[in-house]
């Protein structure tokens, strides 16, 4: 039991957006150790078939279990959560496997007052209707309005988090969703990049709209699951291991925007899956 408690939690994404989830996990679970894998050789997942994404996710999870003996897996990617979550949960029954969609959907359903929820995400996630299906599965009377906000991903990766251009683009995307009668009272940030823009989005929408981000809600769910299974670590955490499937340079250059700290090249390992 003790050895398993000290095992790390595996977190993976096709790229760097999942670092917002990692940040929330490290804040909520400071005693835990983490292994983060960015599948940068096969990014973006959004343009790949469902079958391909499932295969990638299975390969990553098998490697996590074989090489790192993880005690839990977090799919910090909306596309992989939409396509591969149920498959991974069925295959890897010995560990809890969580995605980013269901915890956010549950949080949104719990806070909406007028039963109208907006979702902003990438084009691939909007096309998948994953959030719409998750929300309506919880409450069929809820209306879901979705908007693809692809340009916000690029602005985050450029580090333009507090810029007039970013504010203008946020307004351009959100104004159609929040104009007219019976506008949403809840907004789900359906992309792991978007938590970095949460203050700017909240500033535009005002206090009457609840903004739900996947990172914090996934972290709460992981804590709850580990507590239920008596798997919480009882020792101090080890430094996070960072793995990439392509050259580390681009990952290192952009990761500091998400982590709030720089990464040395020797802290990021290139691997094959």
Closest CA to 210 of 132, 119, 135, 125: 119
Give the active site residue among 77, 85, 109, 120.
77
For the record, the structure tokens of 1 come out as 């039991």
Q: Is 191 part of the annotated catalytic residue set? A: yes
Q: In the numeric block, which tokens belong to residue 25? A: 């996990």
Dist CA 165 CA 5 (whole Å): 46
Query: Which 3 state secondary structure label does DSSP give 152?
Result: helix
Residue in 100, 109, 153, 191 annotated catalytic: 191
How far apart, in whole angstroms, are the C-alpha atoms of residue 14 and residue 76?
A: 9
- What single DSSP character describes residue 65? I
- Sign of the Cα torsion 58, 60, 66, 69 reads negative
Question: Quick check: is 77 catalytic?
Answer: yes
E strands within the chain? Answer: 9-13, 34-38, 72-75, 97-98, 116-121, 143-148, 186-189, 210-213, 241-244, 268-270
Pick from 78, 85, 82: nearest CA to 121: 78
Edge-to-edge strand ranges of the sheet holding 186-189:
143-148, 116-121, 186-189, 210-213
Return the active site residues: 77, 191
């Amino acid at each position: 039991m003790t050895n398993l408690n000290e095992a790390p939690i595996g977190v993976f994404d096709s790229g760097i957006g999942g670092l917002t989830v990692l940040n929330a996990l490290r804040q909520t679970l400071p005693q835990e150790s983490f292994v983060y894998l960015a599948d940068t050789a096969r990014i973006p997942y959004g343009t790949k078939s469902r079958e391909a994404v499932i295969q990638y996710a299975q390969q990553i999870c098998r490697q996590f279990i074989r090489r790192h003996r993880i005690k839990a897996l977090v799919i910090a990617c909306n596309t992989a959560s939409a396509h591969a979550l149920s498959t991974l949960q069925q295959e890897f029954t010995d560990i809890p496997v969580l995605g980013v969609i269901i915890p956010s959907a549950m949080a949104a359903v719990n806070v909406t007052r007028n039963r109208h929820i907006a979702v902003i995400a990438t084009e691939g996630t909007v096309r998948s209707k994953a959030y719409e299906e998750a929300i309506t599965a919880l409450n069929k009377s809820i209306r879901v309005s979705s908007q693809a906000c692809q340009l916000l991903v690029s602005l985050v990766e450029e580090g333009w988090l507090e810029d007039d251009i970013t504010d203008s683009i946020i307004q351009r995307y959100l104004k159609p969703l929040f104009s007219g009668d019976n506008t949403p009272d809840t907004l789900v940030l359906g992309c792991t990049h978007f938590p970095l823009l949460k203050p700017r989005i909240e500033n535009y929408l005002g206090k009457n709209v609840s903004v739900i981000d996947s990172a914090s809600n996934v972290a709460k769910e992981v804590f709850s699951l580990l507590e239920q299974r008596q798997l919480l670590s009882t020792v101090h955490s080890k430094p996070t291991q960072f793995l990439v499937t392509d050259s580390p340079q681009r990952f290192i250059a952009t990761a500091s925007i998400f982590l709030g700290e720089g990464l040395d090249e020797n802290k990021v390992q290139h691997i094959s899956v």
